[in-house]
Homo-oligomer: A and B are copies of this chain.
Amino acid sequence: MKNNQFAIVPTDSEAAIAELRTIHFITPEMAALKTVPEIYQALLAKSFPEVHTASSRQHRFANLMATATLDLNEWLAQATVVSNQVFYNIGLQLLGFLPGQDFDLHDPLLAMRTIHLPLVGDSAFDRESLYYAWYLLLNTRGHRGQTLIENLTARGYFVPFYQLPNEQKPLFFNGKAQAVFDTNALIRDVVYVEAPLDTDQDGKRDLLKVEILRPAETATGLKVPVLYTASPYNQGINDHAGDAQMHNVDVPLPPKAPDNNTLADVAAKPDETPIPAARPINQTTREAEETFSREQSYTLNDYFLARGFAVVYAAGIGSVDSDGLATTGDTAETASTIAVIEWLAGNRPAFTNRDADTAIEAWWCNGSIAMTGRSYLGTLATAAATTGVSGLKTIISEAAISSWYDYYRDNGLVVAPDTFQGEDTDVLAAEVFSRSLRAGDAHRIQAKFDAKLAELTHDQDRTTGNYNQFWDARNYLKNVDKIKADIVMVHGLNDWNVKPRNVANLWDKLQDVPVTKKLILHQGQHIYINNLQSLDYTDMMNLWLSHELYGVANHAKTLLPNVLVQDNTAAQTWHGFDNWWQDAKRALDFKVQYKELVPADHPVDHRAAHFSDQLPDKLFKYYQQHLDAWQTELLNEHKDSPLYDHRLLFKSWQAPEAQLLVGQPHIKGSVAVNQNFGMLSFMLVDFGMAQRLTVSPQMIASKALDLGYHWREDDLKDFKLAKPTPFKMITKGHLNLQNRHHPWHAEAIQPNQFYDFELDLQPVFHHLLQGHQLGLVIYATDMKMTVRGNQDLQYSLNLNDIQLHIPVKSL
């Protein structure tokens, strides 16, 4: 294990001792202890909450080696001083590391440094430095990726704290909220928030079902902040309806009628449909009428439920027990999302049932709300933030969409999210319209929803793939300047479902917005990262939310790096940066020659290179079923690849030194096609035999992460280095040749005439090792993402015109 820990708050010795008193590690009785070994023994004695007697404790001590020859009891019997050798021998064992395998009892400090664990250098401790070292040890991560205090939490250390009076809760240690709330006593309420919407046009405002989990202490007056996850999936999904709506992608790319559109022409019109009046409030209550058994939860939220935060889930318009229709990303959906925040902040009514005769306030909420969640969930958090809604202090948006056009389209082309060929806004709407899963409700509403679905199908316009008013209404980037909430963004650099452009554009637009923003880029695909062994992500989020929602002065904004990036060349390695590409001052510039990428100042040929997009029928059919084989053969540089004549591949020098490629690679060129329409696709590839990270995090220990005490659990995982591979695709881009200038403006092209083009590929943060080669692949049909008509389309590119520009910065 290699530790990457960012959420330790630097704390002076005096403050550390005060905190140790707060969590009862230092007790008044300890003042009477005379020697440092006696004090050390007293601290250790508290580290076994499972045992209740001195006899049992002594056996636990006997399991630990203090030196290479003495167990802890033997050593204590003769100790006069506590050296840091002994302290970290014992400390490493308490953290789950095993002498002989993970470290050497003769040199624990070496292991502390190798694993990147913080340590106190004093060779022999006095009382104060012992306390300080103990404090630091409690905040140090062990071999299962949890700190010692978290490990003690999972073993019951904080159970006696459940009984503390509300005034002493929540409890913070090293700037982070601790699990002093009994998760067995959580209160679970359902309320129905009245949104300022009538999407199902029944003349009444849409009621939205909200599931609330809150600590029992709220019933006796404690006010708590809320982690709110808006998840359209949360009340179930209708796979069957989604599948039925799925689009056939094995259709020809059509020529488009040229238009004269400007951006102003496609600007979304504000929805001015009048909204029905709010329901009258005749009576109010503090008691809910409905509860729920098992919510669909996010383990990060579960963790906070033990620590003094409430958690709220809502599936929004069109979901089970709510009103309205699913609309995929429009302003109604955003209004539905923030209605819950408005209720939590005291600015909107909710009712105890769907008859809406009794109102209920979020009287237990302290008015501070964060949003969490990944993918569609993170997308709604982003959407909510762009409204500037009051009460929303921060969002942690993971793998979030920032503009739906960047999810389902690219430069005038229909471009699917990876593994979801044929999906579109209507498919997603059909899937999350979970009212269809309740036959009684469906009976009344399905016809209205089918009409909405037809509208989505029409307006999303798969025929042209152009950016239009429909997509403009689903572009949150237009409202980034309205954001008032601080933001943590998390995204996978290999996420080809929600592609990296989504986070990059948001990050870039936020540069000028006066909120605190943090960015974490990992090497995964479309995943959560709160169960990785190598990164203290959960602690970072605890630091962040303790600061943002409880106002703890824990330096969260400075301790967390602005941009934290997982290295793609080594396991368990994360680096902090000040920015992404925005502070890059250098770039790599290439032109091409025959099959090579060459420095831009080289003289190059004036020839054209050609490829045909059309594949033999049998091969095409094989690739339809074997998408990974298609990509592997596309990148295979050997002449025997069946795709050899169906793409152009250019390879660079072997990198004379390692390079850090950042931001959006930019490509220019000129192309002719034998029809009056066409498309180009591009891949940037890292060539070089090397061990690369596994595609997904691998299981290290099932259910090893306790999120509290006798509470929910998560699996411990991390990326590992896999067997060596010869290449890896770094990024992609797609272009409809009729949209060479704007995605909203289709231009005519003539067959066999050369046209200039340029485009940005999806952004990267890629560590190219010394000796590796960059590859540029130019092709047309992307079997994984574009339509696949297997048409007779032949492309010619002027080699002299092709240019590749990639910003780089120092490692």
- The answer on a CB contact under 8 Å between A63 and B440 is yes
Q: Is residue A293 within 8 Å, beta carbon to beta carbon, of the partner chain?
A: yes
Q: Is residue A105 within 8 Å, beta carbon to beta carbon, of the partner chain?
A: yes
Cβ contacts A42-58/B at 8 Å (1 or 0 each): 00000000111101100
Number of copies: 2
Q: Is residue A59 within 8 Å, beta carbon to beta carbon, of the partner chain?
A: yes
A648 to B354, CA, bound (A): 73
How many chain A residues sit at the interface, stated as a range, is: 35 or more
B residues near A190, Cβ cutoff 8 Å:
50
Quick one: which of B53, B293, B438 contacts A154, CB cutoff 8 A? B293
B residues near A240, Cβ cutoff 8 Å:
98, 101
Q: Is residue A503 within 8 Å, beta carbon to beta carbon, of the partner chain?
A: no
Quick one: which of B55, B439, B709 contacts A105, CB cutoff 8 A? B439
- The answer on a CB contact under 8 Å between A441 and B62 is yes
With contact pairs A290-B51, A321-B59 given, residues A65 and B101 touching in the complex (Cβ less than 8 Å): no
- The answer on a CB contact under 8 Å between B63 and A438 is yes
A619 to B320, CA, bound (A): 58
Q: Is residue A187 within 8 Å, beta carbon to beta carbon, of the partner chain?
A: no
Quick one: which of B51, B98, B293, B442 contacts A437, CB cutoff 8 A? B98
- The answer on a CB contact under 8 Å between A55 and B353 is yes
- The answer on a CB contact under 8 Å between A64 and B289 is no
Q: Is residue A291 within 8 Å, beta carbon to beta carbon, of the partner chain?
A: yes
- The answer on a CB contact under 8 Å between A65 and B440 is yes
B residues near A98, Cβ cutoff 8 Å:
240, 437, 439
Q: Is residue A599 within 8 Å, beta carbon to beta carbon, of the partner chain?
A: no
Chain B's nearest CB lies how many Å from the CB of A424? 22
B residues near A293, Cβ cutoff 8 Å:
50, 154-156, 706, 709-710
A184 to B69, CA, bound (A): 43
Question: Residue among A72, A100, A293, A709 with the most chain B CB within 10 A?
Answer: A293
- The answer on a CB contact under 8 Å between B65 and A443 is yes
- The answer on a CB contact under 8 Å between A65 and B321 is no
Quick one: which of B59, B99, B439 contacts A63, CB cutoff 8 A? B439
In the complex, what residue of chain B is closest to A73 when comparing beta carbons?
B440
A55 to B706, CA, bound (A): 39
Find residues 381-430 in chain A having any chain B CB closer than 8 Å to their own CB: none
- The answer on a CB contact under 8 Å between B291 and A50 is yes
Cβ contacts A335-356/B at 8 Å (1 or 0 each): 0000000000000000011110
- The answer on a CB contact under 8 Å between B290 and A50 is yes
Find residues 106-133 in chain A having any chain B CB closer than 8 Å to their own CB: none
A438 to B291, CA, bound (A): 46
Cβ contacts A701-713/B at 8 Å (1 or 0 each): 0010010011001
Quick one: which of B62, B155, B321 contacts A440, CB cutoff 8 A? B62
A107 to B320, CA, bound (A): 25
Q: Is residue A71 within 8 Å, beta carbon to beta carbon, of the partner chain?
A: yes
- The answer on a CB contact under 8 Å between A53 and B353 is yes
B residues near A51, Cβ cutoff 8 Å:
289-291
Chain B's nearest CB lies how many Å from the CB of A345? 26
B residues near A294, Cβ cutoff 8 Å:
154, 703, 706, 710, 713
User: 4 tightest A-B contacts by CB?
Assistant: A63-B438, A71-B440, A65-B439, A184-B184
With contacts A55-B289, A63-B321 known, what are 6 further pairs, Cβ within 8 A?
A: A50-B293, A64-B439, A65-B443, A69-B443, A293-B709, A294-B703
Ordered by A's residue number, 25 sampled pairs between the chains whose C-beta atoms are within 8 Å are A50-B190, A50-B291, A50-B293, A51-B290, A52-B291, A53-B352, A55-B353, A55-B354, A56-B289, A56-B290, A56-B354, A59-B353, A59-B355, A63-B439, A63-B441, A65-B439, A69-B443, A71-B444, A72-B440, A100-B439, A100-B442, A101-B240, A155-B293, A156-B293, A293-B706
